[in-house]
């Protein structure tokens, strides 16, 4: 019967839809196979249509593009010439330091560059024979600035140095550096304690001359003029410069232990990076410290001032001395105070960590490292708590105390161990410090430090009583760094060189194996079937026993013989 009602929907069946999809996919496959067979190459990128011919300024645009391309080619050629240009004649350290002469400007800012004016006075050169030793530098200087660390000033103080300065009748100024790393109450107490012996100046170097922990460039450019205590120090220098004739310059010598911040102080005074500061370089280069005296001259309020940055203090080595003879171990003391290089890679870090734990209060260590309670002075219990907190557990369940020691020393090395000390004598710390109110107002209080990032109180050290090596040549500091510090660097280097020795042994083994290897035969040319390479015979020939001959015959032959005998 024919269909009477008109179809009201265009919806098809699922079978019809599937047929359409199959045909469409088959068509796509055919087109793809045809495109693959087509030898003509077609780029997937859309072609630039270029400049239309009817554009009125087409010639000018093309000329500009050609000029830009020509400039780029010229720049590349100039860079290649600069790279291929042979370097200038190498100059030694002495020649470079003698050429480094800083000329003064009207506003007091110094510009570094080679000296263009020849002076008749031999004392104006930086690398003269008369300032090659500490004794000669003290005799030449008018003012001696002893730079101390504000966190533990007595440990950085040297009594022999102050005695020599007094004998030579020189003016001594104590500079309390790094006041931004300790609370305000501690700085205030040490200012009053040290003021009784000499003039004390609290100081904080500019942010541009403070070594950075991160190798990445800072987001904000550090400032050169945000140092604290510059005005007070310059006022003291100006007062003594007025007593000298106008033709003579005031000579100021900065002395102190290695890595105490002498170079940063000098750069902060002249507001320019004229002297290289400490930098924790890779192990193949070693940390960069001042190894020979450098000189900077500048003008302040019409007075010529000459600043001399000296290397770290060197002590006379006493072969008979031992840790038991004194209150402290000088070797451990030098490692912690100089803080030179990667001290966390010491071969035996336990004595150094034991000295830190013995001086710190137990409660501060528990809060800072989040460890359980332990007996006061128990180093092993403290290290076990640090190891468990950082999940440094060996396979047998014993805490890894060596890894815990590295954590503590790494915090000390990176200035992430915020500590402070207080003088033993209890006196009125608020007296005679009114002149430093503006400087103290910029510092954080002890309560603010304990909130973030934490604070640890340690027992104040004692003043250094070892004798200085006043006649040691500063040019030899590169090979013999600070007397006993030579042994300290050896310990640090031993921990770092273990990995290098292992790598060298592996390389030697590889070279030996390469020499013993038999050269491979040349591969046959053409498309021949590759033959499996025959393994080379070992160097030591080993003879194996021949396999035993089989005396018994197969079972089938023996059964046939038995059947034949039975028939017979």
Given a cut of 80, whether residue 193 has pLDDT beyond it is: yes
SS3 199: strand
What span, in angstroms and rounded, lies between the C-alpha atoms of 95 and 328?
42
CB 270 within 8 A of CB 109: yes
> What interhelical angle do 262-270 and 230-241 show, nearest 10?
80
Beta bridge partners of 303: 300
List, by residue range, all CATH 1.10.1580 domains of the chain.
330-425
What span, in angstroms and rounded, lies between the C-alpha atoms of 208 and 218?
10
Given a cut of 60, whether residue 551 has pLDDT beyond it is: no
Sign of CA dihedral 239, 240, 245, 251: negative
pLDDT value, residue 431: 47
End-to-end CA distance of the chain: 100
SS3 173: strand
Residues in the chain, total: 568
Sign of CA dihedral 182, 188, 189, 190: positive
pLDDT band for position 523 (cuts 50, 70, 90): very low
Q: Which positions ≥6 away from 147 have C-beta within 8 Å?
A: 156, 175, 177, 254, 255, 256, 260, 261, 262, 265
CB 507 within 8 A of CB 358: no
| The token pair that represents 195 in the structure block | 């003021």
CATH topology of domain 330-425: Conserved Hypothetical Protein Ylqf; Chain: A; domain 2 (1.10.1580)
SS3 382: helix
pLDDT digits (tens, 9 = 90+) for 139-191: 999 999 999 999 999 999 999 999 999 999 999 999 999 999 999 999 999 99
Out of 2-6, 27-31, 87-91, 216-220, pick the least confident: 87-91
Nearest Cα to 204, choosing from 185, 220, 187?
A: 187
pLDDT digits (tens, 9 = 90+) for 382-440: 999 999 999 999 988 899 999 999 999 999 988 899 999 999 865 554 445 567 888 99
Out of 32-46, 241-255, 389-403, 481-495, pick the least confident: 481-495
* Phi and psi, residue 334, nearest 5°: -65, -35
| The token pair that represents 328 in the structure block | 């402290």
For 449-473, what is the mean pLDDT?
Answer: 91
Beta bridge partners of 520: none
For 441-447, what is the mean pLDDT?
Answer: 93
Task: Tell me the three-class secondary structure of 29-94, residue by residue.
Answer: HHHHHHHHHCCCCCCCCCCCCCCCCCCCCHHHHHHHHHHHHHHHHHHHHHHHHHHHCCCCCCCCHH
CB 369 within 8 A of CB 386: yes
pLDDT greater at residue 379 or residue 507: 379
Q: What average pLDDT does the structure give for the chain?
A: 77
What span, in angstroms and rounded, lies between the C-alpha atoms of 318 and 465?
12
Task: Tell me the three-class secondary structure of 461-498, residue by residue.
Answer: CCCECCCECCCCCHHHHHCCCCCCHHHHHHHHHHHHHH
pTM: 0.63
Task: Using CA atoms of 163, 168, 174, 175 in order, give the dihedral in degrees to the nearest 10.
Answer: -130
Half-sphere exposure of 306 (CA within 13 A, CB side): 18
SS3 119: coil
Q: How far is CA 417 from the centre of its chain?
A: 17
What span, in angstroms and rounded, lies between the C-alpha atoms of 165 and 449?
37
Nearest Cα to 202, choosing from 186, 217, 219?
A: 186
CB 183 within 8 A of CB 456: no
Residue with tokens 């309560």: 447
Alpha carbon distances (Å) from 50 to 65, 67, 68: 12, 17, 17
CATH number given to 127-213+221-309? 3.40.50.300
For 356-362, what is the mean pLDDT?
Answer: 94
List, by residue range, all CATH 3.40.50.300 domains of the chain.
127-213+221-309
What span, in angstroms and rounded, lies between the C-alpha atoms of 448 and 437?
18
| The token pair that represents 205 in the structure block | 């170097």
Q: Which positions ≥6 away from 403 have C-beta within 8 Å?
A: 387, 390, 392
What span, in angstroms and rounded, lies between the C-alpha atoms of 60 and 538?
77
For 122-137, what is the mean pLDDT?
Answer: 61
SS3 543: coil
Q: Which positions ≥6 away from 52 have C-beta within 8 Å?
A: 58
pLDDT value, residue 549: 52
Given a cut of 70, whether residue 319 has pLDDT beyond it is: no
Nearest Cα to 186, choosing from 413, 3, 429?
A: 429
CB 127 within 8 A of CB 433: no
pLDDT digits (tens, 9 = 90+) for 75-91: 998 888 887 765 554 44
pLDDT band for position 289 (cuts 50, 70, 90): confident
pLDDT greater at residue 31 or residue 287: 31
């Amino acid at each position: 019967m024919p269909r009477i009602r008109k179809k009201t929907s265009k919806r098809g069946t699922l079978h019809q839809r599937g047929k359409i999809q199959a045909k469409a996919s088959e068509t796509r496959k055919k087109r793809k196979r045809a495109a693959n067979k087509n030898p003509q190459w077609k780029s997937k990128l859309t072609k630039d249509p270029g400049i239309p011919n009817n554009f009125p300024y087409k010639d000018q645009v093309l000329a500009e593009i050609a000029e830009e391309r020509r400039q780029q080619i010229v720049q590349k050629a100039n860079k290649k010439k600069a790279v291929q240009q042979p370097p200038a004649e190498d100059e030694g350290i002495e020649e470079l330091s003698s050429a480094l002469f800083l000329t003064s400007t009207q506003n007091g800012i110094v510009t570094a560059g080679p000296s263009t004016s020849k002076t008749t006075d031999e004392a104006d050169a930086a690398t003269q024979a008369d300032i090659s030793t500490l004794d000669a530098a003290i005799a030449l200087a008018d003012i001696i600035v002893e730079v101390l660390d504000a966190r533990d000033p007595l440990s950085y103080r040297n009594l022999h140095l102050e005695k020599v300065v007094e004998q030579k009748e020189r003016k001594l100024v104590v500079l309390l550096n790094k006041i931004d790393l300790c609370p305000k109450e501690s700085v205030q107490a040490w200012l009053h304690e040290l003021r009784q012996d000499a003039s004390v100046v609290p100081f904080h170097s500019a942010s541009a001359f403070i070594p950075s922990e991160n190798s990445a460039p800072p987001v904000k450019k550090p400032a050169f003029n945000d140092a604290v205590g510059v005005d007070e120090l310059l006022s003291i220098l100006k007062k003594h410069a007025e007593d000298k004739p106008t033709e003579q310059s005031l000579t100021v010598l900065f002395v102190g232990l290695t890595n105490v911040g002498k170079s940063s102080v000098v750069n902060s005074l002249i507001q320019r990076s004229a002297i290289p500061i400490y930098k924790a370089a890779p192990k193949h280069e070693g940390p960069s410290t001042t190894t020979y005296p450098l000189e900077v001259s500048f003008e302040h309020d019409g007075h010529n001032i000459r600043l001399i940055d000296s290397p770290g203090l060197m002590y006379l080595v006493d072969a008979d001395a031992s840790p038991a003879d004194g209150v402290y171990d000088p070797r451990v003391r030098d490692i912690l105070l100089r803080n030179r290089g990667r001290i966390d890679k010491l071969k035996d870090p336990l004595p150094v960590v034991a000295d830190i734990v013995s001086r710190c209060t137990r409660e501060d260590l528990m809060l800072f490292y989040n460890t359980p309670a332990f007996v006061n002075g128990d180093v092993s219990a403290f290290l076990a708590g640090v190891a468990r907190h950082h999940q440094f557990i060996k396979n047998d369940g014993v805490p890894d105390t060596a890894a815990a020691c590295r954590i503590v020393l790494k915090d000390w090395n990176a200035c992430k161990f915020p500590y402070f000390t207080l003088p033993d004598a209890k006196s009125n710390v608020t007296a005679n410090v009114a002149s430093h109110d503006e400087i103290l107002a910029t510092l954080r209080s002890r309560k603010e430090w304990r909130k973030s990032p934490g604070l640890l109180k340690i027992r104040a050290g004692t003043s250094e009583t070892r004798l200085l090596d006043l006649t040691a040549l500063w040019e030899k500091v590169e090979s013999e760094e600070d007397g006993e510090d030579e042994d300290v660097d050896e310990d640090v280097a031993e921990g770092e060189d273990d990995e290098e020795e292992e790598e060298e042994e592996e390389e030697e083994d590889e070279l030996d194996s390469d020499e013993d290897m038999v050269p491979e035969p040349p591969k046959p040319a053409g498309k021949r079937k590759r033959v499996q390479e025959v393994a080379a015979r070992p160097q030591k020939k080993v003879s194996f026993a021949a396999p035993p001959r089989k005396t018994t015959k197969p079972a089938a032959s023996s059964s046939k013989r038995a059947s034949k005998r039975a028939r017979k």
